[in-house]
Structure 1
Amino acid sequence: MEVITKTLDELIDIPPNHFVFDIETTGLNSNYCKVILIGILFNQDNKTVIKQFFADTEDDEKELLLSFINTIKNYQNHITFNGLTFDIPFLNTRLKKHNIDFYLSKNDDIDILKLIRPFKEKLSLSDCKLKTIEKYLGIHREDTISGKE
């Protein structure tokens, strides 16, 4: 497993005791597919930290999950995009599969997709995909690899 950490010079405005996270998996079925990447963003010592946990092999999943938990255990809440439907249930299933005594609560989550979806038409969005919302907000990024890949 590999952990990449980058500390930003500027402080991104994240509510206190919150972290932002996203996962990448080998597929959509949490009973059989595995978590291969978790990216988190949080504030620490007046700086914003980005940390990515990469599984070099599918056998690294348990270590990846334990490293993630160790990093976020002191934060009370999390922010996701579609985390209520996908990321949180997927992680909780994988934690249980590895007999790891940890649970991410949906009640502690701010799901950006859930907040935006009711305003889709008022904002004249064609859909609520992350790329569409980013474009609306003036965020332009180029991915070197697609989520599907």
Structure 2
Amino acid sequence: MPDTARARRWPLATALLLLGSVGIAAAWILLADTRGAQSSWMAVIAALDAAWLLRLARARPGAVRAIAGTAATLLAIVIANWGIVASQLARPMGMVPWESALKLGPHHAWTLASLANSSVDLAWLAAGLVIAAVLSR
């Protein structure tokens, strides 16, 4: 297959990865809100989803695909943690979670996410990134 045909697959792969990251993060936020816990094991699900989407888009195997899968997983982790913090802040302030998410600053989100994630949660997040790198290549 010519390189131009392979190059045309990356816009599809990028769109799928963005949509997948946002979708898995939304599911993660809802699960964490329902369970009242961080549910950091969802990082592994996000990694599996990213690897599957890259294969679905027929992205060329290699380092670029591994980086793309890892970046998509990292994006899902960031969005999910932002959303979990925002939903926890929204209740006492009388807001809906998306209002809180828009008003939440990065420093405040980082501080609250750091306090909410235990060492086990951080291990799950790291495992998700490693799994994404391995399965996406």
TM-score normalised by L of structure 1: 0.26
Higher strand share: 1
Higher helix share: 2
TM-score normalised by L of structure 2: 0.27
Which gives a bigger RCO, structure 1 or 2 (Cα 8 Å, sep 6+)? 2
